[in-house]
Amino acid sequence: MIFIGFQPNACKKDLGIALSFLLLPWKWVSLRKGIAIQKAEEWLKNFFDSKYCVTFDSGRTALQKGLEAFGISKGDEVLVQGYTCVVVVNAIKWAGGSPVYVDITRDLIMDPQDLEHKITDKSKVLIIQHTFGKSADLEKLLAVTKKYNLKVIEDCAHTIGGNYYGKKLGTFGDIGMFSFGSDKVVSSVRGGALICNDEFLGNKIQALQSKLPLSTRTKILQYLINIPVFMLLKPLYQYGIGKWILAVCKKLNITGRIMYEKEKRGEQVSFYPSKFPNALAELLVFQLEDLDEMNAHRKELGDIYMHGIEHKKILPILDSDTIPLRFNVLVEDPKKLQKIAQESGIVLGNWYDDVITPCSIGIEGMGYKSGECRTAEKYSKMSVNLPTNRNISTKDVLKIIELINNFTEEKGDTRVFPLSSVREGRGESCGHRTQGGE
């Protein structure tokens, strides 16, 4: 089968690292602390030419601590785009702030005009999200933040190595936030980091991180187990056995979860936030060494999707240098497309199928009011993602393209078109562009 998730970046070297920590007793002493953490932080500092880099157990913890470093307190508003993940909203709330939702453009990036409409005297911080690796309209957004004296966190959970006019994404805001979760650009199964160049902020972030506990050995082992379990069961998934065993592993807490049920309800779990464990840092260091190769692969597959998916009414334009974490399409009946794809052995993604997702208490419970972000409400219901990870081949992409093009022809009532820099009525360039890696 072709998967968009299920440890998509994992390869034999990841498996070897995971098994070494699981099976070799002399490595157990370095599960939580060790040299790999420093290596990962130094790599990121050098890559981004940043004075400070601090790692955490996850991107959501990193985001929370970044907001705390700004001194967010009760009543302070943090502006965040609709069409985002519940963990971003949780980080805002757990830091003490109140989320204010900003609508998106048809590119699934924040609308600068709506941003300015949403700013009040209580607004303190703007979180800029580079959705699926596509750069936000930084020129316009940063002009607004300067006008209203807002602090900026760049949410780079979907990109490491993308550029905006030759400068790396993550270096435009006061703080850059990165995630190393299982489905991200590089993956240590779980992890995150903050970078910055400001001395006061850097010291504050380091102080906040120093107060966090070490990750528990149980949780570290659970996330390490994810790699061999998922790699072993992937080939069995289509027969039902793999899916059943994965469900059992999840139910018995044998494997670590991407997101816990409490988090989907906006509640904190007892074992996080914490520091980034050394065992997972070793996985991260290995994948960072392959970053340029993985980004080039994603870029190549994105170009094939862009030119291969056809639609008579919508011009399929994607910024030519974008490095897509996932290649997004908008579909009037996404569930039908996903169902047909799965019947053909292709598991597609649904980031994000609501304004805030996945949210088990409903988006109203996250402080969102219906109609606040109408474009996000519309396009989140049409969103389907196509895989671009290192384990997806050109042959796989061509199979997906064939399925989509046939689906379009055979189901004339269900339109499928690549999401890109499209304007009403026709495709146009955004007026800005992202530039791929080094």
Residue 106 has a pLDDT of: 86
Nearest to 163, CA basis, from 81, 63, 47: 47
Place of tokens 């400070």: 52
Q: Answer positive or negative: Cα dihedral of 80, 86, 90, 91.
A: negative
> Is residue 227 one of the residues assigned to a domain?
no
In a domain, 317, yes or no: yes
Asked, for residue 235, whether it belongs to a domain, the answer is no
Dihedral over alpha carbons 251, 260, 169, 292 (to 10 degrees): -10
Other CB atoms within a 10 A radius of the CB of residue 374 amount to: 14
Query: Are 77 and 179 within one domain?
Result: yes
Q: Are 416 and 305 in contact (CB under 8 A)?
A: no
Are 51 and 191 found together in one domain? yes
Helix segments in 156-216, DSSP class H: 199-210
Q: Would you call 176 exposed, middle or buried from its count of C-beta atoms within 10 A (0-12, 13-18, 19+)?
A: buried
| Residues 151 and 31 occupy one common structural domain | yes
> pTM of the prediction?
0.92
- Does 167 share its domain with 307? no
Taking the CA atoms of residue 116, residue 120, residue 122 and residue 124 in that order, the dihedral angle to the nearest 10 degrees is 10
Q: Is residue 109 domain-shared with residue 201, that is, in the same domain?
A: yes
CA distance 416 to 171: 35
- Closest of 373, 355, 352 to residue 114, by C-alpha: 373
| CA dist., res. 372 & res. 125, Å (int) | 19
Same domain for 296 and 197, yes or no, is no
Cβ-in-10-Å burial (0-12, 13-18, 19+) of 265 comes to middle
Cβ(266)–Cβ(361) below 8 Å: yes
* Mean pLDDT by groups of 10 residues along the chain of 438 residues: 92 97 97 98 98 98 98 96 97 97 93 98 98 95 98 98 95 98 97 98 98 98 96 86 88 93 96 98 97 96 90 46 89 90 93 94 94 96 92 96 77 54 35 34
- Given this model, what pLDDT does residue 11 score? 94
Range of the domain at 341: 291-424
Q: What's the pLDDT at 370?
A: 95
Token pair recorded at residue 368: 């969102």
- Residue 78 falls inside a structural domain: yes
User: Token match 């049409």: residue?
Assistant: 382
Residue 435 DSSP SS3: strand
pLDDT recorded at residue 432: 33
On whether both 186 and 37 belong to a single domain, the answer is yes
CATH number at residue 318: 3.90.1150.10
Residues 188, 300 within the same domain: no
Structure token pair of residue 215: 């990750």
User: Which pLDDT does position 434 carry in this prediction?
Assistant: 37
Does any domain span residue 179? yes
Residue 217, in any domain of the structure: no
Q: Is residue 382 part of a domain?
A: yes
- Phi/psi-derived region of residue 96, left when phi > 0, alpha when psi is between -120 and 50, beta in every other case: left
**DSSP string covering 273-338:** S-PPPHHHHHHHHHHHHTHHHHHHHHHHHHHHHHHH---SSS-----TT---SEEEEEESSHHHHH
| 307 and 195 belong to one structural domain | no
Same domain, 200 and 308: no
Would 276 be classed as within a structural domain? no
Query: Which of the listed residues 169, 191, 210 is the one where a domain comes to its end?
Result: 210
Positive or negative: CA dihedral 356, 358, 362, 367: negative
Residue where a domain terminates, one of 191, 210, 229: 210
Based on the fold, state whether residues 154 and 27 are members of the same structural domain.
yes
Domain count, the chain: 2
Neighbours of 211 (CB within 10 A): 9
Are 111 and 104 a contacting pair, CB within 8 Å?
A: yes
Supply 429's token pair: 């360039």
Euclidean distance between CA atoms 136 and 130, whole angstroms: 5
Cα radius of gyration (the chain): 21
> What CATH number has the domain bearing residue 61?
3.40.640.10
Same domain for 298 and 395?
Answer: yes
How far does CA 100 lie from the centroid of its chain?
A: 20
pLDDT score for 426? 33
Q: 210, 240, 266 — which closes off a domain? A: 210
